């Protein structure tokens, strides 16, 4: 790890004032890892782990989760388990208990890709070193994205939690020098395009302070399904957070987001609205999943993900709808 200056913020305003040029450090499970392998080399590290941003509360019909709440705290929270089960399931399907104890919601939103080329200084990577090229394209691509890719980058988004937050229509509260604002979580992550190094719709002084998850009947029915190379403690080959309301067997409202297949969590609103008014059946869900996978561009080692993602989506939609899987 390279040398850096260490600073600690006691107040949110202090953190924002000191932010430009520094890396925010919370749980450290992602940042310290990437600093050890010298993929990220901040000259200043700003410890925000002592800020008062840990609260998890139900407020105004929504779940408000402080950015520093740990993955464990959120996953085990009674209201989360009961009223937004996909979020709890997604968190518990990710990493290990040790990592979940340290990892935070804010850090998870900012989690960097696990692309093996991004993490390997011996290779070319447009995300790590803009303009150098991409050795993943034409390389070993089993873990890479098939949706939202570009000529510059095919790195998959690694987070489970974010997939659930996308399906739950969560919003992210950000504080910057000019005050606080809220953006849909799906606007936080940028597609790689020609600039895969630009990953977040955040300014240099912006700090994520909380996440808001609307609580409703749909959220209470949400489920998360994850498929991976081993039964536990692995990143997703494909995953899906789904929520279906289907009184009398007819879809009234449905949402789903895919993980492990996109350069960001993948949601296709047309596929969701197409299900409305149709029977909550395997046929309906299969067609919706096919619509969501339209435009998938697999590479040499990940063509299987097209079918796997469809089946994962169907499984999650069936689970949420309470239909026979």
- Kindly list the residues in this chain that would bind another protein in the complex (CB under 8 A): 1-7, 25, 28-29, 32-33, 35-37, 43-45, 47, 49, 72, 95-99, 101-102, 231-233
Residue 260 CB, shortest distance to another protein, in Å, is 18
CB closer to another protein out of 156 and 215:
156
First to last CA, the chain: 48
Q: How far is the CB of 139 from another protein (least distance, A)?
A: 21
Cβ atoms 263, 302 nearer than 8 A: no
Indicate the residue among 231 and 324 with the shorter CB distance to another protein. 231
Question: Judged by CB, which is closer to another protein: 46, or 288?
Answer: 46
- Which residue lies nearer to another protein by CB, 15 or 317? 15
The minimum distance between CB 180 and another protein, in angstroms, equals 26
Nearer to another protein, 178 or 231 (CB): 231
Q: Which residue in 322, 256, 324 sits closest to 288, CA to CA? A: 256
CA distance 195 to 201: 13
Minimum distance, C-beta of residue 154 to another protein, in the bound complex (Å): 23
Residue 43 or 55: the one with the smaller Cβ distance to another protein is 43
162 and 143 Cβ atoms separated by less than 8 Å: no
Q: Write the DSSP assignment of 158-191 as a string of letters.
A: --SHHHHHHHTT-EEEEEETTEEEEEEHHHHBPP
| Minimal distance, residue 47 CB to another protein, in Å | 5
The pair of three-digit structure tokens given for residue 314, joined into one six-digit string: 């169907």
- Identify which of 314, 146, 296 has the alpha carbon closest to the alpha carbon of residue 225: 314
CB of 214 to another protein, least distance (A): 29
CB-wise, 72 or 286, nearer to another protein? 72
Least distance (Å) between residue 89 CB and another protein:
12
Q: Which helix (H) or strand (E) holds 204?
A: none
What's the burial of 311, exposed, middle or buried (CB within 10 Å: 0-12/13-18/19+)? middle
The answer to whether residues 117 and 125 touch, using CB atoms and an 8 Å cutoff, is yes
From residue 42, give the alpha-carbon distance in Å to each of 1, 215, 231, 233: 10, 38, 35, 28
């Amino acid at each position: 790890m390279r040398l850096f200056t260490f600073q600690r913020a006691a107040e949110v305003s202090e953190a924002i004032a000191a932010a430009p040029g520094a890396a925010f450090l919370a749980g450290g499970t992602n940042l310290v890892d990437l600093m050890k392998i010298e993929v990220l080399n901040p000259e200043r590290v700003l410890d925000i782990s002592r800020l008062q941003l840990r609260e998890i509360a139900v407020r105004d019909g929504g779940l408000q989760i402080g950015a520093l709440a740990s993955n464990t705290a959120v996953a085990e929270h009674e209201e989360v388990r009961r009223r937004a089960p996909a979020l709890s399931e997604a968190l518990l399907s990710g990493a290990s208990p040790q990592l979940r104890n340290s990892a935070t919601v804010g850090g998870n939103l900012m989690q960097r890709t696990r692309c093996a080329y991004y993490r390997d200084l011996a290779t070319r990577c447009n995300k790590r070193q803009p303009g150098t090229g991409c050795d993943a394209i034409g390389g070993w691509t089993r873990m890479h994205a098939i949706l939202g890719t570009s000529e510059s980058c095919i790195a998959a988004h690694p987070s489970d939690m974010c997939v659930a937050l996308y399906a739950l229509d969560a919003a992210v509260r950000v504080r910057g020098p000019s005050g606080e604002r809220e953006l849909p979580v799906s606007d936080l992550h940028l597609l790689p395009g020609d600039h895969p190094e630009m990953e977040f719709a955040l300014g240099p002084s912006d700090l994520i302070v909380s996440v808001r998850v609307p609580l409703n009947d749909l959220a209470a029915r949400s489920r998360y399904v994850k498929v991976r190379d081993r039964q536990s403690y692995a990143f997703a080959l494909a995953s899906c957070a789904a929520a279906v309301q289907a009184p009398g067997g007819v879809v009234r409202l449905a949402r789903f987001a895919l993980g492990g297949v996109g350069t960001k969590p993948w949601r296709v609103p047309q596929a969701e609205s197409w299900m409305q008014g149709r029977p909550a059946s395997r046929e309906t869900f299969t067609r919706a999943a096919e619509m969501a996978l339209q435009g998938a561009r697999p590479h040499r080692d990940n063509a299987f993900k097209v079918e796997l993602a469809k089946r994962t989506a169907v499984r999650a939609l069936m689970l949420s709808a309470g239909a026979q899987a």
